[in-house]
Amino acid sequence: MTLQLGVIGTGAIGRDHIHRITNKLSGAKIVAVTDVNSEQAHAVVKAENINAKVYKTGHDVINASDVDAILVTSWGPSHEEFVLASIAAGKPVFCEKPLATTAAACKRIVDAEIAHGKQLVQVGFMRRYDQGYRALKKVIDNGQIGEALMVHCAHRNPSVDSTYTGDMALTDSFVHEIDVLRWLLNDDYISAQVILPRRTRLADKNLQDPHFVLLETKQGIRIDAEIFVTCKYGYDIQCQVVGETGTANLPEPLSVLMRSEAKLSTEILTDWKKRFLSSYDSELQEWIDSTIKGEMHGPSAWDGYFASVTADACVAAKHSGNIIPITMPERPAFYARK
């Protein structure tokens, strides 16, 4: 079976996903697209050389009779509407992060999916598909460093553009750690604290950068994370888990170690797209394969909801200077950990 997909949003990541589904992955093809910028949607169909109809709205795509499943890659504020409409149509939907821009909206999606009675929603937290994070998880799950006690992380971007404002360090960047660390540690968070270090002079004058976040999990694991989005030197994702009998580090991306011109050197990537290229491929291939089988294995609407509640707590912690408790309703059996 070939899964026939509709894509809502043909901007940066929408186009990337269209490209990888068409040229690299198997089992699916794009038959419908839309974007509020319809010229751009037409241009993407042409440039990617795909036989897809361009619809006026996301709802037209969702309700098209030849569309089996939906990819939501539009701006965050539009996600809730399209995910809810996909659930109402009974169609599987892969939604780029964030699931929705408020915790209340995420909860509405969770409630709608439970009422529908079958899991249809996957959220685009691609780090769970990164080979390095998967290898790190295996070490922890096998007990090779004893029980995890602490985690040290860094999320560094060389720079960000002018659309990156306000608390996006927490809601747009750190949200990746929020999801991947819950999955890595098989745990949930109970509190968040944010400490603001000395501000770099090299960030936009309206942007606080960097941030320190401290999270505490149910099991008492302490996580410290630095989010530094104008670090200048590269795109650098670090994660070290400290256990009772050892430490385990996220592997560095493959890079040749060079000795030349009296220097020992290795390249550092500068683009997040390149750092997680194969994770996006695996994430979507696994989603296509499981969707064809009528199953759902990836980050769920519940994970999207938890990420949103945690990000909100981080924002509240930043603005109040307080330690903010993270409270969630009991995880419904519908979303039992797999």
Ligand X SMILES: NC(=O)c1ccc[n+]([C@@H]2O[C@H](COP(=O)([O-])OP(=O)(O)OC[C@H]3O[C@@H](n4cnc5c(N)ncnc54)[C@H](O)[C@@H]3O)[C@@H](O)[C@H]2O)c1
Q: Which residues bind ligand X (CB under 6 A)?
A: 8-14, 34-37, 40, 58, 73-76, 78, 96-97, 124, 126
Residues 6+ apart with CB under 8 A from 165: 206, 207
Q: Considering the rule CB under 6 A, would residue 217 count as an interface residue with ligand INS?
A: no
Q: What SS3 class is residue 163?
A: coil
Q: Which does 173 bind (CB under 5 to 8 A by kind): ligand X, ligand INS, none?
A: ligand INS
* Residue with the CB atom nearest ligand X in the bound state: 11
Residue 212 or 272 with smaller CB distance to ligand INS: 272
Window 243-282: contact mask with ligand INS (x via CB under 6 A): -----------------------------x----------
Q: How far is the CB of 75 from ligand INS (least distance, A)?
A: 12
Q: Which sign does the torsion angle of CA 14, 83, 58, 64 carry?
A: positive
Describe the chain by its helix, strand, coil percentages, rounded to 5: 40, 20, 40
Q: What SS3 class is residue 38?
A: helix
| Among 34, 173, 193, 300, interactor with ligand INS by CB under 6 A | 173
Cα(207)–Cα(232) distance, rounded to whole angstroms?
15
Residue 35 or 167 with smaller CB distance to ligand X: 35
Q: Of 85-93, 168-176, 238-246, 291-299, which segment contacts ligand INS by CB under 6 A?
A: 168-176
Q: How far is the CB of 42 from ligand INS (least distance, A)?
A: 25
Q: How far is the CB of 20 from ligand X (least distance, A)?
A: 13
Q: How far is the CB of 109 from ligand X (least distance, A)?
A: 14
Q: What is the CA angle 155-160-166, rounded to 5?
A: 85
Residue 91 or 127 with smaller CB distance to ligand INS: 127
| Among 10, 157, 282, 308, interactor with ligand INS by CB under 6 A | 157
Alpha helices (H) in 98-191, listed in sequence order: 103-116, 131-141, 168, 174-185
**Structure tokens of 260?**
């030349």
**Structure tokens of 173?**
């960047």
Q: How far is the CB of 56 from ligand X (least distance, A)?
A: 10
- Among 127, 71, 117, 112, smallest CA distance to 94 is for 71
**Structure tokens of 66?**
């030849």
Cα(317)–Cα(307) distance, rounded to whole angstroms?
15
DSSP codes of every residue in 252-306: PPP---EEETTEEE------HHHHTHHHHHHHHHHHHHHHHTT---SS-HHHHHH
Residue 55 or 133 with smaller CB distance to ligand INS: 133
Q: Of 29-37, 47-55, 169-177, 180-188, which segment contacts ligand INS by CB under 6 A?
A: 169-177
Q: Which does 110 bind (CB under 5 to 8 A by kind): ligand INS, ligand X, none?
A: none
Residue 179 or 226 with smaller CB distance to ligand X: 179
Cα(321)–Cα(208) distance, rounded to whole angstroms?
14
Q: Considering the rule CB under 6 A, would residue 171 count as an interface residue with ligand INS?
A: no
Q: What phi and psi, each to the nearest 5 degrees, are found at residue 321?
A: 80, 5
Q: Considering the rule CB under 6 A, would residue 96 count as an interface residue with ligand INS?
A: no
Q: Considering the rule CB under 6 A, would residue 334 count as an interface residue with ligand INS?
A: no
| Among 15, 107, 176, 318, interactor with ligand INS by CB under 6 A | 176
Bridge partners for 30 per DSSP: 5
- Interface contacts to ligand INS, rule CB under 6 A: 157, 172-173, 176, 272
